[in-house]
Amino acid sequence: MKNTMLNSVLLLLWRDWKSGELNLLLTSLLLAVATIGSISLFTNRIQNSIEEEATQFLAADAQIKGSTPIPEAWQQQAAADGLTLANAQVFRAMAFANDKMQLSSVKAVDDGYPLKGKLRLADQPFTAGQPAARAPKPGHAWVVSRLMGALGVQVGDQIEIGEAEFVVSAVLIKEPDSSSAFFGVAPRIIIHSQDVAKTGAVSTGSRVSYTLMLKGDESDIAAFQNQITPQLGSHFRWVGIQDDNRGVGEALSRASSFLLVAGSLSILLLGIAIAMSARRYAARKANQVALLKTFGKTPNQILRMYMLNIFMLGCTGFVLGSALAWLLHMVILSLLGDLIPHGLQPPGVRAYWAGGFAGLVALLAFAAPPILPLRYVSPWRVLQAKSQEQYENKWLSLGVGTIAIAFILYWFANSVTLTAILLGGIVLSVLVVGVASRGLLTLTNRLSAVTQKAWRFGLANLYRHRQFNALQIVIFSLLFMIIFIMFIVRTSLVDQWRDQLPEGAPNHFIFNVFQEEKAALENFFKQKGIDSQPFYPMARGRVIAVNGSASKDLLKDYRGSMNYERELNLTWSDKFGGDNEIVAGKPWAGEDAEGKYWASVEKEYAEGLGIEVGDDILVSVAGDEFTAQVKSIRSVKWDSMNPNFFLIFNQPFVSEGAVNWLTSFYLPPDKKTLLNDISFTFPTMTFIEVDQMIDQVQSIIAKVSLAVEFVFVLVIAAGALVLVSSIQSTLDERLKESAILRALGANSRLVGQSLWIEFGALGLVAGVISVFLGEVGLYLLQTQIFKLDYLPSYRLWWVSPLLAALLIGAIGYLSTRRVVKVPPLVILANK
């Protein structure tokens, strides 16, 4: 019995394949699996590579930072959890050589450092250097280029750090976890952790920063984080890549959100394509079911046979589609060539079968409801030309399809918020479009009475099939709404990332510039052709009270309380830089403060202390205190590589002798040796090289942008498939209508023109509706998911309807042009 059933299913599958019955359904399934699978494979590899490269900012997968030594028990727990460890501590110490001295930032590391990324060492200052993956040996020191110049030493010379002597064995060109807190950083020296005690620089009361670096599988890291977070207290904090570097962290977060949204919307589109194809397949099986019943097949046997047929088709689509997904993602990688970095991380196991699983679930969910009613089809009803649709429970179809899509979306995105926004948006959109489409179709019917023949036929067809056309308008409106939203979001994200670090962005900072040296440095820049940014006066201080209440009593959780406990770089200016935007209050340019101090406070810093416009803050600078009134709150683009400050005041708050100046400048690679001249000419100044970090950030942003562009193209491809599937589902009925028109004397040209007009008008209506839905969806996604500012897209208000009319008109005509080629006699004779 089982063999008979299997043979029947295989025979049915073979006949359906030969007759072309499965073409559209299998194509929809294959493209669904291939599209979702290639999105998963490509984006998973890119994202794994991005995250791998981003972890080099930490020299680890994660860190624990603290102001006291990391407890030994934590380190033992991390090792027991299978994590690899490395320790580092950073402290200030004086470095001496050749009767010169310089305050330096000493990093002491153990043999495991770095866990991720590589150091770069050289024999000469300010050169490219070679990668190194080991810490220095005990008794050896690696010294940054500018400190080599300030102390007048070369590789092989000796320097003193505190009370100990070290051999300078290499020039430190780059450390993977160089701090993103550029200002106030002394020149770096790296030594071995075994040498800390003999320097005498660390004792009770010394200010030391301790870091435990962790490396391991993502699940092990997450498990350890969950265990240790409740124990961190106020002296320690957990640091991941999104905590350590705002620019990279936000780019990764928004890119991940985009890829999830795009992948989820692709699932919606491809689910619709499968549903339309499955519905058409089931509708065309009514006659076959009637014949099977005359041959003695029971309803349950017929149901099992067709469901098994669909399942086998799904398994075929799973295997072939997954293979196609792999090939497609490899072809994309090959075509992109040099844009794709070598050594991409392999995809996760889930990425291999994500497309096949989603496609199989969608196929079974969307194919089952229209196939279930086939068992009720009787030969007599078929002979009366009754449609299978009369037996279909449309609420069941809608319910099962919605549950399946919700399941796939949540499984794919792993986000209740995103799943709820997308599903809620789709349901609301369907209701709105359903009502709007009926009204617009009624309007087209009235217009058909006053137009020429081709227009009359085309517009009348819209109204004649208004129930199904209303469904198509819903589908097309959702399709163009999705494309509309993805285009705007993709453009906003990519443009923002590219603007974040434009070509020629400052890649060096110089500070500790005193008033008497400022003019000389400006003249030096001018002579050497170096384009520098404006100079900012700078002094160190901190807010100690707000409206008379001590800051320590007001602290809220803002990346820990460290930004309030330490001194900040403060400045004064009449104007704010382009990276600053006032979100509350107003600027003070041109206003007379009458000798009073006014302050502008960075938004997140203000939130931490509960500072609002009009509050009075007490500021301590070098032991002196003054009160300032808060005139504005600013948002700041910290990732711009321009000097920015938490607090800006309206006038000087220290004497000229206590001020040092800060500026930034761009130096191309071929002028790197000018740093030697700066170091020798201005030995007391401190400069920081961030060009290598900028290159790394730009590399990450390029990969993120590439992934976003690729996924957007696949969303467009999924949309095209929905268009074809939806239009093909009406092909049988259009063949009959065309045959009747041509039998009554209409020529092929008239029928073809009416098709163009019908689909074009359908596209225009869908395009108009999609604009309004798109703006609502765009607002929700940009403000709630991507955390971007909402800006209406006025240009697309007229471009989108016209594009929809042309695209649907063209695809509709090309997909149905067969109706003007098949002889009417063949169709009417049902041959």
pLDDT for 723 beyond 50: yes
Q: What is the pLDDT of residue 184?
A: 43
Highest mean pLDDT among 76-80, 237-241, 604-608, 738-742: 76-80
User: Would you state the pLDDT for residue 260?
Assistant: 64
CA distance 459 to 219: 59
**Last residue within a domain, chosen from 399, 414, 429:** 414
Please check whether residue 641 lies inside any domain of the structure. Answer: yes
Matching residue, tokens 């994590």: 83
**Cβ-count burial of 655 within 10 angstroms (0-12 exposed, 13-18 middle, 19+ buried)?**
exposed
For residue 465, being part of any structural domain is answered with yes
Domain ranges, residue 230: 59-239
Q: Is residue 52 part of a domain?
A: no
Does 114 lie in the same domain as 84? yes
Asked if 250 and 220 sit in the same domain, the reply is no
Is the same domain home to 789 and 775?
yes
DSSP state of 785: I
Angle, nearest 10°, between helix axes 349-371 and 246-283? 30
Specify whether the CB–CB gap between 482 and 650 falls below 8 A. Answer: no
Asked if the model's pLDDT at residue 309 lies above 80, the reply is: yes
Most confident range, picked from 16-25, 373-382, 660-669, 717-726:
660-669
What number is the average pLDDT over the span 710-728?
Answer: 70
Token reading at 241: 């890549």
**Is residue 405 within 8 Å of residue 268, measured between CB atoms?**
yes
- Identify whether 36 is part of a domain: yes
Cis peptide bond prior to 683, omega within 30° of 0: no
One-letter amino acid for residue 246 of the chain: R
Instruction: Please tell me the total count of domains within the chain.
Output: 4
Q: Which of 115, 110, 144 is nearest to 127 (CA)?
A: 144
Do 766 and 776 lie in a common domain? yes
Q: What is the pLDDT of residue 729?
A: 65
Segment among 218-232, 337-351, 424-438 with least mean pLDDT: 337-351
Query: Do 819 and 720 belong to one domain?
Result: yes
- b or e along 350-386 (b: 16 or more beta carbons within 10 Å of the residue's beta carbon)? ebbbbbbbbbbbbbbbbbbbbbbbbbebeeebbeeee
Task: Look at residue 108 in the predicted model and tell me its pLDDT.
Answer: 95
Query: Stretch 203-212: mean pLDDT, rounded?
Result: 84
Contacts of 184 (CB under 8 A, 6+ apart): 511, 540, 569
pLDDT over 90 (residue 6): no
The verdict on residue 53 lying in a domain is no
Q: What is the distance between the alpha carbons of residues 380 and 289, in angstroms, rounded to a whole number? A: 12
- Cβ atoms of 411 and 397 within 8 Å: the answer is no
Task: From 585, 587, 565, select the one nearest 575 (Cα to Cα).
Answer: 587
Q: Tell me: the pLDDT tens digits for 416-425?
A: 777 777 777 7
Is 60 exceeded by the pLDDT of residue 44? yes
Kindly report, residue by residue over 88-135, the tens digit of the pLDDT. Answer: 999 989 899 988 888 888 999 999 999 988 888 999 988 878 888 788
Residue 677 has pLDDT above 50, yes or no: yes
User: For residue 283, which amino acid is it?
Assistant: A
Residue 502 and residue 515 in one domain: no
Calculate ∠ Cα 407-412-414, nearest 5°.
Answer: 85
Residue 291 pLDDT > 90: no
CA dihedral 805, 811, 813, 814 (to 10 degrees): 160
Rounded to whole angstroms, the Cα distance separating 490 from 511 reads 38
Please give the residue that has the higher pLDDT: either 362 or 646: 646
Cβ count near 539 (within 10 Å) = 20
Q: 504 φ, ψ to 5°?
A: 85, 10
- Please give the mean pLDDT across all residues of the chain: 78
* Lowest mean pLDDT segment, chosen from 121-135, 262-276, 279-293: 262-276
Q: Is residue 730 part of a domain?
A: yes
Tokens 């309380």 correspond to 561
Query: Using one digit for the tens of pLDDT, what is the confidence trace for 610-663?
Result: 899 999 999 998 778 999 999 999 998 776 667 888 999 998 888 766 788 888
- Segments in 501-569 forming alpha helices (H): 515-528, 551-554, 562-565
Sign of CA dihedral 234, 236, 241, 245: positive
Between 530 and 657, name the one with better pLDDT.
530
What is the Cβ-side half-sphere exposure of residue 251, based on CA atoms within 13 angstroms?
34
Please give the pLDDT value at position 499: 64
* 79 and 204 part of one domain: yes
pLDDT tens string 257-267 = 666 666 667 77
Q: 377 with 425, same domain?
A: no
**Looking at the predicted structure, is the pLDDT value of residue 545 above 80?**
yes
Q: Are residues 208 and 289 in the same domain?
A: no
Angle at 764 between CA 758 and CA 768, to 5 degrees: 150
Which of 222-236, 283-297, 516-530, 707-721 shows the lowest mean pLDDT across its residues? 707-721
Query: Distance from CA of residue 719 to its chain's centroid?
Result: 21
Q: What is the pLDDT of residue 636?
A: 87
What's the pLDDT at 123? 93
The pLDDT confidence band at residue 183, using thresholds 50, 70 and 90, is: very low
Q: Does residue 427 share a domain with residue 403?
A: no
| Most confidently predicted of 247-256, 334-343, 434-443 | 434-443
Residue 805 scores a pLDDT above 80: yes
Q: Average the pLDDT over each of 298-302, 466-470, 544-548, 556-560 and give the range with the smallest value.
A: 556-560
Q: End of a domain among 629, 659, 689?
A: 689
- Could you tell me which of 716, 729, 713 has the C-alpha nearest to residue 273? 729
N- to C-terminal Cα distance for the chain?
Answer: 34
pLDDT of residue 627: 94
C-beta neighbour count of 512 within 10 angstroms? 16
Q: Rounded to 5 degrees, what are φ and ψ at 118? A: -140, 150
**Distance between CA atoms of residues 37 and 412, nearest Å:** 11
Please state, in angstroms and as integers, the Cα–Cα distance from residue 776 to each residue in 6, 485, 782, 785, following that order.
51, 9, 10, 14
Kindly report the backbone phi and psi dihedral angles of residue 607, in degrees, each rounded to the nearest multiple of 5, phi listed first. -65, -35
Say what the pTM is: 0.59
The span from the CA of 507 to the CA of 484, in Å, is 37
Which is nearest to 322 in space by CA: 294, 370, 359, 293? 359
The verdict on residue 443 lying in a domain is yes
Domain co-membership, 736 together with 592: no
pLDDT the model gives residue 428: 76
Task: Confirm whether 342 is domain-assigned.
Answer: yes
Read off the pLDDT band of 388 (50, 70, 90): very low
- C-alpha–C-alpha distance, residues 709 and 701, integer Å: 12
Final residue before a domain boundary, out of 638, 661, 689: 689
Contact 216, 61 (CB under 8 A): yes
Q: How many C-beta neighbours within 10 Å does residue 792 have?
A: 11
CB 503 within 8 A of CB 638: no
pLDDT at 84: 94
Give the whole-angstrom CA distance, residue 143 versus residue 148: 7
pLDDT band at 181 (very low <50, low <70, confident <90, very high): very low
Separation in Å, CA 770 to CA 641, 711, 763 = 39, 21, 10
Pair (394, 490) in one structural domain: no
Bridge partners, residue 648, by sequence: 571, 600
Q: How sure is the predictor about 560, in pLDDT bands with cuts at 50, 70 and 90? A: very low
CB atoms within 10 A of CB 406: 14
Whether residue 498 is predicted with pLDDT greater than 70 in this model: the reply is: no
For residues 435 and 214, which has the higher predicted lDDT (pLDDT)?
214
